[in-house]
Structures are given as C-alpha cells and as structure tokens.
Structure 1
Amino acid sequence: MKKYHFKLDIIRKYYQPIQPTISKIDGEIIYQEIQPTKKIENMIYCFWNLKTKKKLKKNYLYRVVSDGCIDIFFDNNNPTENYIMGFCKKYTEFQIGKDFNYIGIRFLPSAFPLIFGINAKLLSNNSQELKFILPEFSNWISTEFKTKKTFEEITKLLNEKLIIEFNQQKKEIDTRFLKSLELIFQNNGFLDTENDLNIGLSSRQLRRIFDYYIGTSVKSFSNVVRFQHILNSKPSKESLKNSKLYFDVGFYDQAHFINNFKAFYGVTPSEAFS
C-alpha cells in the first residue's frame, strides 16, 4: 500500500460527511452504510445502500446534501445504469422512482482523483453516466453484478476492486495540499482562505490543486466543511436557537445562517432538525 495512503488519515480523522437519514414516515425505504476494509479506509468513507422494501405508491424524491465527496452509484436492479456524482455546491434532488436498490461508493475528499487520476473539476455540480468517465470500471459493475447479489456481497467485491485500482496508481499527493485540508478541518471550515493557509503555495497554485483534487475552490470547500460541522454537532431546533452554534463558525446573524444552510440542505434548520 502506498505511503501517501497513510497521510490521508487526516481526512478520515477530522471529517465525517453526513447525509440525511431516511425519516420515519419513509418506512418502506431502507438506508444503510458499510465501512470499507482497513486497507482503503482513508480513501473510502463508506459503501451505502438505498432501497425500497416494496414498490412505492408514488415516485420517491431523494435529497442529497453537500458533503464535499464524490460518489459512484448504480441501481442493483439494473447495474448497467451506473453513475458518478462530483462535488456539489448545493443540495441536489433526484426523482428515483417507485422501486429501487441503489448502491454507492462515497469517496473521501481528494481520494477519487488520487485513485483514478481524473480531475475532480470535470465532475463538479452534476451527475453523469460512469461509462463516459471510467469506461472500464463502468463495464466491470455492469458485468460483475449482472447476477444479483446482496449489499454485503457487493461491498466485499467493491473493496477488492478498489484495492487493486489504488495499487495501480502512481500519482503522488502534495503534502502541502494535505496540510491545507488539515487546517480547514481543524477550524471547522471557518477561516480566512486567503491569509490563514500559509502552506507554501500561492493562491493560484492552491486554487489549481483544489480544483483538481476536490473539484471546487478552497472557499467553497471550506463552506461545505462548515456546514457538515453543524450537521455533525447534531443540534436540535431548540439547542441551535439557544447555543447559537452558527456564531462559532462565522455567521453574523440568524438570517445569514438560515439562507446558507438551506442552500446546502434544501430546507431550513428548523425543518431539518424538527
């Protein structure tokens, strides 16, 4: 396993990207996550599964909040339909039908470009068919899972495949970039990105390296880290009102916080934490 794999442990250490849980009213839908094998735990946050217990009465609208990650996903009912979704500056909603069994790989920030050597900027703010980005990997999914397998069986095969993919790559990662990530995480995304990242890279170099590894600017990524910090704090509507958590991460008033939160989540904090 490459040495820089272990340098990426700072991402796993500081950053836990959260997606909204399926609410109790969606009792016919199951969402679960399985952790990757230890060999790739600093690259992959989790494998996830979103599926229906039985066919729904109406099409399901699934909301994905901003988490700074890149995901590969496919419908286990039809694995030839496989996709990739890059960094998103705001929440995204998908009409995913009445009967589905989606399985995905959530790559930690910077891991996908490191493994596959693809510029993350090319993937940002949209989802697209995987065959146009990674044709070999897309074909492997289509072929390997043609015979239906359980989520656990698929996870085992994905672990093995990703270990092989990672070991084939020779790209080194700039330790100054990793230091900038560490500073962003340590400050929960609340820092002056122009002045507080004194890591030996010019603003232009930093912008270029963030575009490549994350898919967006330093400031935009920091804003997502700040948003995810609030989600990880697991505030209730009442505690958020009383503790003013948003002041601690640079919001000057409640209105500014609410507007920012809604852009990343799709609803207001009161609706999200009710």
Structure 2
Amino acid sequence: MTPDFHKQYRPLTSRPFLRGYAYSEYAPSGCLAPYIACFWEAGEVKEGAGERKVLVIPDTCADIIIHINYTRQTVSSRICGVADSPAVSVQKPSGDRETTFAVRFYFWAVRLFLNVKMSELYNQVLNLELVDKEAAGEFKAFLDITETSGRIAWLERFLLNRLLQATVKRQCNFNVYNAVDRILKNSGSISVKEVCGYASISQRQMERLFMQDIGLSIKRTADLVRYQNVWCDVVRQDVLNIQDTVYRYGFADQSHLLNEFKRFHGVTPRQAKEIALLNL
C-alpha cells in the first residue's frame, strides 16, 4: 500500500517563503513523494554576517541532516525527530567551506527508512550514528559530491533501496495508515475514540501501534495536524478569521485556539505571519 496522504496534507515551516543561498528546497521524485516532503540545503554562514537564527516549529516531520565540511574532509549527520514545541536554531560562521544537506520525512514514513524505535526520536535531536550506524557510515560518500543535483540523486537511490527493503519486510501497518488517513481528512479535529472506531481496533492496541510506527500518541498526532492546518490558513489568508477558524477546527473558543497555536509556534498567529513574510 502506497499512501497518498501528501496530496491532502502539506505542513509548513516557520518561514515557508525562504529561498536563496541561505536555504533551498527540492521536491523528491514521484516514487518518494508519498514519504518525503522535500530535500533541503543550507549554505554556510558567511564571515562577517553574524549569527543566523531560525525559528523551528513543529512541522510534523522528521529530518536527517547531513553536514559536509569540505575543508576538514568530515561528514556528520543527525536525526531530528518529530517535535511538539518551538525552538530557535542558531548557526554561526566557521570560515570553512561547508554545506548542510537534508531530507524531510512526513511523520507517517520515517520508520520505513530508518532502523530506529520511533518513540526514542520524539522531541529528540540525535547523532545518526547512535540510531542507524549503517546509514551514517554511507553518508561519507557526500565528500566526493559537490553539486546539489548529485547529492539528491545519491540520496534518492539510497532511500529507494531502503524503501524496497521495508516493503519486503512489510514494515508499514495498514491500521496505522487508516488512522492517519482519518486524522488528516478531519484536519486533526477528531477524537481518539473516533480514530480507533474508524480503524476498528481497540484504543490500547492503536496507541501501541502509533508509538511503534510514529512515536507519538494518537491525540498528540491529531493536535499537531490541526495546528499545522491552522498555520497553513494563517499563511495563505490575507486576514485570518478567528471565529471561522475556531468553528472549522473544533476549538472550544478563540482563547483555546490562540493558546494552542502559541504553545506550538511560540508566538501569536499575527507575529508568526510577520516572521513568515520576512522572505517573501
């Protein structure tokens, strides 16, 4: 079963319009599109440019981030699991020739590509070698690849091979996919009882499957999906109609919506929109 969730759900970062030397995104091939939101790349911070600070919000994705230092001939990698709180990433100039290349997985797909216990990745940033030593070792090949197109091609081959192995081992669970489908179609505004009822499975068993395949509880998954849907509305609408949003996504009232948004984003919807438009 190949999920088509990506056709109905496209989570956003805090600065969805950011493009250029500092940061660029690249779409995956059609075979990987159901599992991968994008590849992304960030160049080094130039000397004299000062620190680069980026607000990182819960985008319901997990990233493998590969840092390539051509000056020192080193490659390091880390895995950033799905998070439920905002953080600020600070990048400083080093004077070396380096680049950061990464792949961003949808929350329903990570387990298909990594040999990892998903519950151990929740709200964590870990050295990939501690999680999947085999993958971390293979990424040393990036020292010999200097073009973005080459990095994408290499990583796509690696991921497609991993996906084939997962398919043979049947690492995807149809009950989880059915539950995710229900959560996404309801924009996250759905109870745990409804999710389990739709999948015809007990809540206890479904919670266990979610922790195994996604690393989050059913409720937290739905909460994050709802938040991301609200954030997409904030970005796309000239002025967010709060009352309509309260009704559409099942919040108790305006205060509930604003508190929930700020808990995940760190700022109010208006402030978040200002940050997003910095690079428009």
Question: TM-score if structure 1 supplies the norm length?
Answer: 0.87
CA distance in 1, matches of 2:173, 2:55: 34
Q: Which segment drifts farther, 46-55 or 157-166?
A: 46-55
Aligned length: 265
Q: Does 1:184 align with 2:183?
A: yes
Aligned to 2:200: 200
Residue 62 of structure 1 pairs with residue 60 of structure 2: no
Is 1:95 equivalent to 2:90 in the alignment? Answer: yes
Amino acid at match of 1:175: F
The Cα of 1:196 is off from its aligned counterpart by 4.5
- Summarize the Cα distance change of 1:75–1:233 in structure 2 as closer, same or farther, 3 Å threshold: same
**Unpaired runs of 5+ in structure 2?**
275-280
| Partner Cα separation in structure 2 for residue 85 and residue 53 of structure 1 | 21
Task: Go from structure 1 to structure 2 and tell me whether the alpha carbon gap of 1:56 and 1:190 turns closer, same or farther (over 3 Å shift).
Answer: farther
Query: Which one of 14, 19, 22 corresponds to residue 8 of structure 2?
Result: 14
Residues in 1 aligned to 2:10 and 2:17: alpha-carbon distance in whole angstroms: 20
Aligned to 1:51: 43
Larger CA deviation: 118-127 vs 232-241: 232-241
1:173-201: CA deviations, max 9, x gaps?
22221111111001100011123431121
- What is the alpha-carbon distance in structure 2 between the residues aligned to residue 221 and residue 196 of structure 1? 11
Q: What is the distance in 2 between the residues matched to 1:254 and 1:237?
A: 18
TM-score normalised by length of structure 2: 0.85
Q: CA–CA distance in 1 between the matches of 2:30 and 2:86?
A: 30
Residue identity over aligned pairs, in percent, reads 24
**Residue type of the alignment partner of 1:267:** V
Partner Cα separation in structure 1 for residue 158 and residue 182 of structure 2: 32
What corresponds to 1:247 in structure 2? 247
Q: Secondary structure at the match of 2:264?
A: helix
Amino acid at match of 2:39: F
SS of alignment partner, residue 252 of structure 2 = coil
1:15 Cα deviation from its structure 2 partner: 1.6
| Superposed displacement of residue 89, structure 1 | 1.3
Contact 1:58/1:98 (<8 A) preserved:
yes
Q: In the TM superposition, what whole-angstrom CA distance separates every residue of 1:88-139 from its partner, at most 9, and x where no partner exists? A: 1112222222356321111112212123342211111010100001111111
Q: Could you tell me which residue of structure 2 aligns to residue 163 of structure 1?
A: 160
**Contact kept in structure 2, 1:114 and 1:173, CA below 8 Å:** yes
**Structure 1 residue corresponding to 2:75, chosen from 80, 87, 103:** 80
Structure 1 residues without counterparts, runs of 5 or longer: none
Give the counterpart of 2:150 among 153, 160, 163. Answer: 153
Q: Is the 8 A contact 2:51 2:90 kept in 1?
A: yes
